[in-house]
Amino acid sequence: MNQKAVVIILLILLTSFTIIGRLFYLQILDKEYKDLALKNAVKKEYIIPERGYIYDRNKKLLVSNLPIYDVMGIPNQIKAFDTLEFLKYTGITKEALLKALKRAKRYSRNKASLIIPKLYKNEIALLQEKIYKFPGFFIQRRAIRKYHTKSAANVLGFIREVNDRELKKDPFYMPGDLIGKAGAEKSYEKVLRGKKGVRYYLTDKFNRKIGSYKNGKFDTLSEVGKDLQLSIDIDLQQFGDSLMINKRGAIIAIEPETGEILALVTAPSFPPEFLSGRNSSKNFNKLFRDKVNNPLLDRGLQGEYPPGSPFKMLNGLIGLQEKVIEPWTAFVCNHGFTYGKRSHMFCHCGANGRKVHLPWAIERSCNTYFSKSYLNIINKYATPAEGLDVWHNYLARFGLGHYLHTDLPVGSKGLIPDSKFYDHYYKKGHWYASYTISNGIGQGEVLTTPIQLANVAAAIANKGYYITPHIIKRINDSQKGIDSIYLNPKQTGIDSQYYNQIIDGMAAVYKYGTAKYSQLPDIEFCGKTGTSENKTRINGKIVKLPDHSIFMAFGPKENPKIAVTVFVENGGYGATVAAPIATLIMEKYLRGKITRTDLLQRVLNTDLTSIYQQKAPKKDEKQ
């Protein structure tokens, strides 16, 4: 054969071997392309399960789901369409449509973008029938929360689209997913959200589905979210709302035996549907910016106030347990007493120099008695620091000065000072029990949240123990999955015998004392009024405002079913507003109806808005 032909054949063989070698490398050796092909064509689609429903303790439906429709568009598939007809069916303006289309194009020409969000079923019906006329558009169904109550927004919470931080934290979520942002929706997010299903699709280069991947071999089913049954009594909650109209503050009602929260009213509030549906973002901003009323603040859980006189119950109990007082110990009260060199603790109990013993001291809220009791506790020990820490530890066991760890996502610690606190404040070893005497009557440095006080009421009602307050009752009709801290009692460390004197004293408050006008003839309630002073700065001057009105109660005295704390900002003397509200709440819960209509009318007519308007918008300095 011609030699040049051989050279040409060699050239051809060389080329073919080069091609074969490269193909061998691409197809056999390099595994990267298999993954790339899958990444290209196999798309995961998540099936979002229906979110669990929320019921109240009597199985009344509070929250369900409502289908809502988004009109989506894929720019590259949109053909020229009758804009006027489209606008007619959807009810949006031409400008809004053009803006949405422009945004969609900017985002991606081949991926679906939101064109019109959140249309309700009746609003989408027309378009749904005619959608074939608008290629490139499709309707996507999703669900928002539907609320069957106007109440309990702070308990139920709300859901929103996940933010970047949440996306990073939990791989469960994809952009656009909804997540509980507050209340039960947040605390029980993992229970309510269910389990997503996964479906694998083959897609073409325009991201259009062209069939299932391997006949659905890898697909998984979704699991519907679990239903919550809350301990909240929605009727009671609503009743509480109505009592708090034109007032600021909180009502907390707890079932002492179980620690279940029956009502958690904060005022001012807003209907839960405010943060669902089309205007949710706008509404949220409105609520968020309202620094005057601060409706997003849950005053029951987060508000820290000086507890005032109800705190005296605790000093009585600790004094008994520490044996620095006995049930019939008597202190002399002469419009108060003088301590230290020139200091005087005033008292309005009316003993006028007579001896005072415990039940009477409670009934009349005697400052002298409890201050002396407090001083005796502290001074029992070698140093005031040691004594104060003993006192502090008792209170810590009541859940004061620390987070209570309720199953709601917000809360405050309050403040119960210990020796470190005063060591820092004064100088180590340079302070004495008398410096802190206001702690004896629930003023001074002591701060509590209304729910902490309600929990104290429950512990007193239980004579020595409490179960951490919580809103969960059942998950899918079972106690499975409920945190054990909401099922197991916590001991307060004070013998139950000592509670009897305190309870007798609190019963006397209703019978003869400060809450006399709130009592019912046939149910024996126990309660304690409180009044806490507060001042605020208006135009640079410190102005004393009407006191906060506080009432702590439970009932009936035998076998208590409900413990309540009511806190009304600037409500005045404890007996004027808070006590009637607490009594009405207890009557409503125990009886289902209100017999003291005079009391109800008085509460409903109480309007404190004029006082609130005096307050500077931001600072609410407590004293």
Partner 1 sequence: MKSSRKVGIFDYDWLSVLLFNMLVVIGIISIYSATYDQANTNIFQSFYGKQTLWFAFSYVLVIFISFLSLKNIKNNASLLYLIGVILLILVLILGANINGNKSWFRFGSFSIQPAEFVKLMTVLGLAKLLTEPDFKLTNFKNLLQATILILVPVFLILLQPDLGSAIIFLSLFLVFYRDGLSVTYYLLAFLIATLFITTIYFGQKNVLIVISGIFILVNLFTYFKLKKIFWLPVIFVTSISVLSILGTDFVFHKVLKPHQRNRIEIVLGKKKDDKGTGYNLKQALIAIGSGGLYGKGLLKGSQTKGDYIPEQHTDWILTVVGEQWGFIGTLTVVLLYTFLIIRLIFLAERQKQKFSRIVGYGLVAILFAHYALNMLMVIGLFPTIGIPLPFLSYGGSSLWAFTLLLFIFLKFDAHRVEDW
Residues at the contact surface with partner 1, assessed by CB under 8 A: 1-2, 4-5, 7-9, 12-13, 15-16, 18-20, 22-24, 26-28, 30, 32-34, 36-38, 40-42, 202-206, 210-211
Contact criterion met (CB below 8 Å) for 450 and 532:
no
> Beta strand pairing status for 228-230 and 54-55?
parallel
Nearer to partner 1, 109 or 557 (CB): 109
Cα distance between residue 163 and residue 396, in whole Å = 36
Bridge partners for 47 per DSSP = 197
Q: Residues near 170 by Cβ (< 8 Å), separated by ≥ 6?
A: none
The string of DSSP codes covering 90-145 is H---HHHHHHHHHHHHHH-SSS-EEEEEEE-HHHHHHHHHHGGGSTTEEEEEEEEE
Contact criterion met (CB below 8 Å) for 446 and 310:
no
Bridge partners for 364 per DSSP = none
Angle subtended at Cα 117 by Cα 115 and Cα 122, rounded to the nearest 5 degrees = 115
Contact criterion met (CB below 8 Å) for 48 and 222:
yes
Least Å from the CB of residue 220 to partner 1 = 21
Least Å from the CB of residue 112 to partner 1 = 17
Nearer to partner 1, 14 or 487 (CB): 14
Least Å from the CB of residue 7 to partner 1 = 8
Least Å from the CB of residue 471 to partner 1 = 50
Contact criterion met (CB below 8 Å) for 221 and 197:
yes
Least Å from the CB of residue 140 to partner 1 = 23
Nearer to partner 1, 1 or 382 (CB): 1
Least Å from the CB of residue 10 to partner 1 = 10
Least Å from the CB of residue 468 to partner 1 = 55
Cα distance between residue 553 and residue 528, in whole Å = 6
> Beta strand pairing status for 137-147 and 61-73?
antiparallel
3-state secondary structure of 320: helix
Nearer to partner 1, 12 or 245 (CB): 12
3-state secondary structure of 333: strand
Cα distance between residue 93 and residue 110, in whole Å = 25
- Residue from 232, 199, 303, 255 nearest 472 by CA: 232
Nearer to partner 1, 39 or 341 (CB): 39
Least Å from the CB of residue 19 to partner 1 = 5
Nearer to partner 1, 23 or 221 (CB): 23
Least Å from the CB of residue 20 to partner 1 = 6
Nearer to partner 1, 36 or 96 (CB): 36
Give the HSE-up count for residue 568: Cα atoms under 13 Å, Cβ half-sphere.
30
Phi, psi (degrees; rounded to nearest 5) at 130 = -105, 10
Cα distance between residue 190 and residue 195, in whole Å = 9
Structure tokens at 319: 């004094």
Least Å from the CB of residue 452 to partner 1 = 60
Structure tokens at 310: 């109800």
Bridge partners for 568 per DSSP = 249, 549
The string of DSSP codes covering 483-511 is -GGGTS-EE-SS-HHHHHHHHHHHHHHHH
Nearer to partner 1, 12 or 292 (CB): 12
Structure tokens at 428: 């180590």
Nearer to partner 1, 76 or 128 (CB): 76
Least Å from the CB of residue 205 to partner 1 = 5
Least Å from the CB of residue 1 to partner 1 = 6
Nearer to partner 1, 108 or 338 (CB): 108
Nearer to partner 1, 23 or 594 (CB): 23
Nearer to partner 1, 1 or 84 (CB): 1
Structure tokens at 97: 């449509």
